[in-house]
Structure 1
Amino acid sequence: MSLNEISFSQIVLNQVKWKMKAYSQSIIILILIQITVSILFSGGNITMGGGFNEVNINIHYYTLDSYIILSCIWALVIAILMQTNGYRHDDYAVITTRYTASLANVIVLFVYSFIATIISFMTLYILIALIQVVGNIAVMKEYTLFEFVHFGLAFFIILLAASIGYLIGSIFKLSKGLGILMVVLAVIFTAILNVQPEALLVNFFFNTGYLSFMLKALFTCILLFVSSIFILSRKEVNRR
């Protein structure tokens, strides 16, 4: 019998702190990926040019699109990897149950999605600053360089990718056969109805205003995370 009692919130908080340190290298990987894309592809800029009377004008458009896409892929992969045996063994380092471990993972994904959003914006800002200083090229802003609405949109897009990845990993963790079956059914469903899943998602989330998108995204993320926690709660974690 122990005289020390640890509350549920303390257990989750301890796991969050542990996982943040254990997965911290993934943040470095994201930064390196973003920098590499900036160097090799100039941040995925779009170039337009024209000329008149021996005067040539090249216009380069720099947007967050490529950085957000990379962050989404990163979040999707990290969320799936959390269900692999290598990452799952980190749970043995602290007192845990499958429920508290899953809840801690969700909190970590929220925090990491927020950090990934900051990294995406900062990478674009650094790229623009280098273009102005090193390239001596004038930069014109079509809108305010930073807006909280754009930050919120980017955050929820990345969080959506993380929640989808976590659900996929949870299903495969529960049963690889069930996961493969769902993938096959999704492919068959898409082929029979001749629909594009990405088009359906875009129409569902982006057919209205920014606030509506963020509310839909928040509700969807909560639904996916709750579903993942329910699925994973069917498997208990045992200390080794």
Structure 2
Amino acid sequence: MFSLQKIGSGSVRDQTSLSQLLNIYKQPIGYLWFLYVLFFVFAYIGFISIFIKNDTHILLIVIFGYIIASIFNIPIFFIQSTLVWAPMFYLGHILKNMDLKINKTTMLLLFVYFIHVPIFRVLHPSTDYASQINPQIWGIFSVIGIILGFSFLPLLQHVSVKGLSFIGQNTLVVYLVHAPTASVIRIILFKLGIYNIPINIIVGFGVSLAISLIAVYLSERVRLIKLVFYPLRKQKIEVITHD
């Protein structure tokens, strides 16, 4: 990602400096914050669950951590972000075992979720979204979004879209590859004088997805590429076979 940004030079909006690259162990770069935080969330909740087995109690603990992070805004990235996102993660863990029904409350939450977007833009005209590190009160809308997702997505369980399951099973590779690929495609289109937004979106999405799926294909057949995306896959298979 760093190399591609340097190749793109002035065409890249948010350039990563060498200093930022060398400090990724404490401050991740761009969209890769998600994997960084996910790792620490797993460790944080995993540690708590060693001593506490009740889901409600664990949820209350991580919510308390969220409040602490909101008040004090801890300057250490992995601590602050882990405390902020752990409640969202654990809420999903709880809801996956529940059968949520669409009712009046669900529709009210849906209305509130959509209406908060223009309200946020009015209050924060120069910001596209709430802080990922300290959303504070706006974090409640992440909770609402998770509840809505678990309420409405089951409606699609009988909808069959060819190839969608395959993409879903390989979202890690697609997630890692698509962003830098889409950036390169956008740069190429700009170099060719193509600034039309719909064309940029369609071509960028289509080509980046295709390249991501090629990466999936290669990750299953080329050992070096497999090592990048799935460094433990072989060992896991061996353990399962042995057991």
TM-score, scaled relative to structure 1: 0.24
TM-score, scaled relative to structure 2: 0.24
Which has the larger share of strand?
Answer: 1
